[in-house]
Structure 1
Amino acid sequence: MPLFWRIFLLNAVVLVTAAALLLGPVTVSTPVLLTEAAVLTGGLAAMLIANALLLRVGLAPLQRLTRAMTTTDLLRPGRRLAVDSQGEIAELIATFNAMLDRLEHERATSSARALSAQEAERRRIAQELHDEVGQTLTAVLLELKRVADHAPPEMRGELHQVQETTRVSLDEIRRIARRLRPGVLDELGLAKALRALTTEFTSPGLSVQHRLDAELPPLGHDAELVLYRVAQEGLTNTVRHSRARHAELALRRTPAGVGLLIRDDGRGIGDAPEGAGIRGMRERALLIGADLTLGPGPRGGTEISLDVPVPDRNG
């Protein structure tokens, strides 16, 4: 039944009932007696209450749909409203669910293209840093060594200082290139790449430990890259924002596939809004159908969990 006729008939039932009472056992005198006024007032209140209750029941699905519209986040897919009624409201909810399916598919497709282009650009920049800037600095370093060997003793100290500055800059260029393009991931695999990542982020102010399962199910290149990038972004956030002293990175086999866990003992995220880094992690998780959760750890700090499903090849 259309929504209009449902509301109309509910109101009609209340009004017809009131009219029947006035024509039957309830009468009105002229002038109106006090008892009659009390009866009419009570009847009017009962009519309004009944009408409000009936409308609330009839329009409850619309209120659920409104809440879903205001809380839907395409980076947290899969949430749908149950179609537990019939008529126009059920059709509206089904249309909204279909729209979410289409939007999530389009979002995942566009994010895949954008992240693929981003990875290609990172590889290009890393290659240019390694081949152009890195080789140029290496040549400068060798030239400085040659000049320092033939320079007067009073100038050798300054030349050695410039040589050391150039060496530090070369190491920094190589470190940036490694972060842009994780060559170790392609050459040595995910476990060794994550082990090298924890070593890279370990510093005098932060101890990063790793626990990596020896036997993991086979993962595709995209899944390994997403796991590596999420671990990299999570540890970067720990260094920049958490003020943590200890952090832990774990990669383990789960019944559904592979789970990545990053945990620290810092100050946590609190009520801070999600930044570009966290939203980037969520977009990467969507590419491989993974589930990313982020929140406080069991003993404070921040905990990031990424569950990557792996199809059963024996099934």
Structure 2
Amino acid sequence: MLRRLAWLRDPDRPMLFNVVFWVVFAATGVITYANDSWTPPGATAFAVNLALVAALWLLLPWRRPGGRLGGWRGSLPIVFLLATFALGFTGSAEVHQLLTLLAVANVAFVHSVRTAAVVIGCVASAMFVWVLVVFHRNVLNATAQSVPIIVFSSFVLGMASAVLEARRRRAEAQRLLARVRELTVAQERARMGAEMHDSIGHHLTVIKLSLENAERFRTRRPEAAWGEVRQAKELAVAALADARRWVRALRPLALEGRVGGAALGQLAASFDGTGLAVSFEVVGDEPPLEPDVELVLYRVLQEGLTNAVRHADARQVTGTLAFDGERVVLVVADDGRGRAHGARRGFGLPSLAERAHAVGGTLTAGDRPGGGFEVRAELPVRAKVAP
């Protein structure tokens, strides 16, 4: 039963509107019943009107009709507006007018500001005629009753327009963020593809030359031919290990449903077959990480392990993920030869430094005092927009 009624808890309904509605709704009932002497028919009509307003509030959509919000629910904002307006005729002491303004905002949220303006014009015109014809008042009095509705409704429509524009910009920003992430992934895959071409392509080129030499030497120098075959075999094993490493590195961040420290630990374990002793530990209580921060940590560990295998001649790599309040620090250290003097600066670490800066963090890399190489990323648990 509760699951069936879950759609009543509309997440698009502004919380402040909800609070204002119920406060004004209660005040309307209390003040009206306290100030008037009721006849049974009048009291019943007002109670029914008040109950109708409360029921409609729970059913109101707060986005443009579509899917299950279409059809009969799409007409509810107009019905709700008329129901709040009718409170003035069934006995409300004018406190209900704030409910009418909420109804105007709802029409703007669901059907557009222009539609709400047209509806308000019609309601104000109807009220003007009603005061003249039914209550037999003069034009000045009818104008005094109608103009405040138009003025206050215009103010509400202005606020609703600002909120709708903010929603539109947020949705656009989310679409752009998704696009940026796609481009980031594409850039990363292009970089890794180029490195795969350089490493595996080199192995395959040498294998081809070795087999060609073996074919050339097979009759005149059999021993040399077998030497070339053995070399080709060794290179094939190295190329296969390289290919497996890249396949592991290209696996998605959430490995078998893991995220955060578990995903990083799984990535570290995936390098066990490379001849490198890899250890990884998590220090401190791990809070949930934002996806952007988690992706940077994953890429930093991936880059540190990959560089240790390819360039450092390392035997052991240690990864440490430490949490300290609102900061998280990842250190990847190896016992290899460090950065060669005058070596060309690669693309991976500068790119990672830019990513760390983009989420409000820092990345440093360099030789360790006792030998080896260390990459250190210090990031906020919650991503911040870097200036």
State the TM-score, normalizing by the size of structure 2.
0.36
Higher relative contact order (CA 8 A, sep 6+): 1
CA radius of gyration, larger in: 2
State the TM-score, normalizing by the size of structure 1.
0.44
